[in-house]
């Protein structure tokens, strides 16, 4: 698999795309906070606008991607994000990049990212065999880990040392590189038939919803993801204010603190290729989520900008990244194994909709709590909310998944591999 040119092109393109995305996720909020002096409420709105396309578009995108060539979808979205951020960089250099422009940019990039993320998850199933899904996801999530290392650090450093427009231009460059790489995929995908009318599109969306709702494991993934993403969105809104304003850290150090999750996630990707087959997929999910989410409960106890504080932030980010990546890779493999090929896009989009769709509300809540309760108390409360996610998984049949991946619902059960759900 790793010598396959198409998989390498996907891997390289996804790596560049994730670098651009993670850099922009730091660039836009830092520009709002450090340059435009945005308050907690304004930052919450900015993050919510960037996350709103997940709620608004995910279900439609899933139905469309199952009917489109994934390569075409990824190439067009990379091109769109490169152009949007390039235009923003030019506007910033001439002094036209204000909060309204940031809001429009955040929404546009967020919308295109929904298309890319659903398409690349569906494309993997078309490039590798089912028994290679864990390894394939491990490789792709490993590249995302590398992006988590380089993206935030690069974005924070460029905003702090140079300017937000230059930082935005760097993100545009990464999306352009992803565009060039994914265009090299040569494996032919049969051109899908387009829906004949809107009723047909809605029917396909409902099929995806019913499929996920009808499987116990996938329902639990949706609920646990929703609880985590809602709380994490609130945490990050407060965290992006807590670091520069409460701990008085520079943009560069903020970027490094956020990037610390990257090395941990890289370790998590490596472990995800081994631990589930040794200890069971369910046990890994619950333990990794509890460890990774729980470490944020320690952050509100930090004070000042000393070397000890920075080291503690780096350690917390590392543990969070390792635990989170173990969960991400394992959940993705379980979801892909349970899902027939013709439902991959809709299943991914349904779970994204259920989980990530609540993030705009979480971001708004984080901004509200920061204004009403203060940064330290708000960070503690929102971090505690993340612990509900491993609790949901621990109390569900998902925790009892064994060492073998469950069979797809289009596969006939056998004595060695019983049907899940």
Q: What would the DSSP string read from start to end of 10-68?
A: HHHHHHHHHHHHHHHHHHHHHIIIIIS---HHHHHHHHHHHHHHHHHHHHHHHHHHTTS
Quick check: 203 and 92 in contact, CB under 8 A? no
Specify the residue for token string 């390289």.
Answer: 12
Specify the residue for token string 């621990």.
Answer: 394
Q: How far apart are CA 72 and CA 120, in angstroms?
A: 11
Give the tokens for residue 314.
């780096």
Q: What is the pLDDT of residue 350?
A: 83
**Mean pLDDT for back-to-back runs of 10 residues, the chain (421 residues):** 64 82 79 74 84 80 74 89 89 80 90 86 65 64 63 70 76 89 74 53 80 84 90 90 86 77 79 83 89 91 86 91 86 80 76 81 89 91 94 85 67 37 31
Q: What is the pLDDT of residue 388?
A: 93
Q: How far is CA 330 from CA 28, 94, 146, 353, 397, in A?
A: 31, 46, 18, 19, 15
| Cα 406 off chain centre by | 24
Q: What is the pLDDT of residue 186?
A: 75
Q: What is the pLDDT of residue 1?
A: 45
E strands, 220-335, are: none
Give residue-wise pLDDT tens across range 87-104. Answer: 888 887 887 878 888 889
Q: How far apart are CA 158 and CA 349, in angstroms?
A: 33
């Amino acid at each position: 698999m790793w010598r396959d040119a198409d998989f390498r092109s996907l891997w390289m393109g996804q790596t560049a795309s994730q670098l651009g995305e993670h850099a922009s996720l730091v660039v836009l909020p830092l520009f709002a906070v450090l340059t435009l002096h945005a308050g907690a409420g304004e930052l919450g709105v900015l993050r919510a606008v960037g996350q709103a396309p997940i709620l608004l578009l995910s279900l439609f995108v899933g139905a469309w991607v199952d009917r489109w060539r994934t390569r075409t979808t990824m190439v067009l979205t990379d091109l769109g994000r490169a152009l949007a951020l390039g235009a923003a960089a030019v506007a910033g250099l001439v002094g036209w990049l204000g909060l309204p422009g940031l809001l429009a940019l955040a929404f546009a990039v967020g919308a295109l990212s929904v298309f890319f993320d659903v398409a690349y998850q569906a494309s993997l199933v078309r490039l590798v065999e089912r028994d290679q899904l864990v390894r394939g996801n491990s490789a792709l999530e490993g590249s995302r880990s590398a992006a988590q290392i380089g993206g935030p650090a690069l974005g924070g450093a460029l905003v702090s040392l140079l300017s937000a427009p230059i930082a935005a231009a760097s993100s545009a460059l990464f999306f352009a590189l992803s565009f060039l790489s994914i265009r090299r995929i040569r494996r032919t995908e049969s051109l899908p038939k387009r829906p004949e009318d809107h009723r047909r599109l809605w029917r396909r969306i409902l099929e995806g919803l019913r499929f996920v709702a009808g499987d116990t494991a996938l329902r639990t993934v949706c609920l646990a993801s929703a609880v985590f993403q809602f709380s994490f969105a609130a945490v990050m809104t407060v965290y992006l204010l807590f670091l520069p304003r409460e701990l008085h850290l520079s943009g560069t150090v903020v970027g490094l603190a956020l990037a610390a999750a990257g090395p941990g996630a890289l370790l998590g990707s490596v472990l995800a290729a081994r631990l589930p087959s040794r200890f069971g997929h369910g046990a890994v999910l619950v333990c990794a989520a509890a460890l990774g989410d729980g470490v944020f409960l320690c952050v509100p106890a930090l004070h000042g900008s000393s070397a000890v504080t920075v080291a503690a932030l780096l350690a917390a980010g590392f543990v969070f990244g390792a635990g989170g990546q173990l969960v991400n890779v394992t959940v993705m493999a379980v979801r892909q194994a349970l899902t027939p090929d013709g439902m991959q896009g809709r299943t991914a989009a349904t779970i994204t909709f259920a989980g990530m769709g609540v993030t705009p509300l979480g971001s708004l809540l984080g901004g509200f709590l920061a204004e009403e309760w203060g940064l330290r108390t708000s960070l503690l409360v929102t971090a505690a909310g993340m612990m509900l996610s491993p609790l949901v998984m621990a109390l569900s049949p998902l925790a009892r998944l064994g060492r073998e991946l469950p069979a797809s619902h289009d596969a006939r059960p056998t004595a060695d591999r019983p049907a899940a759900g």
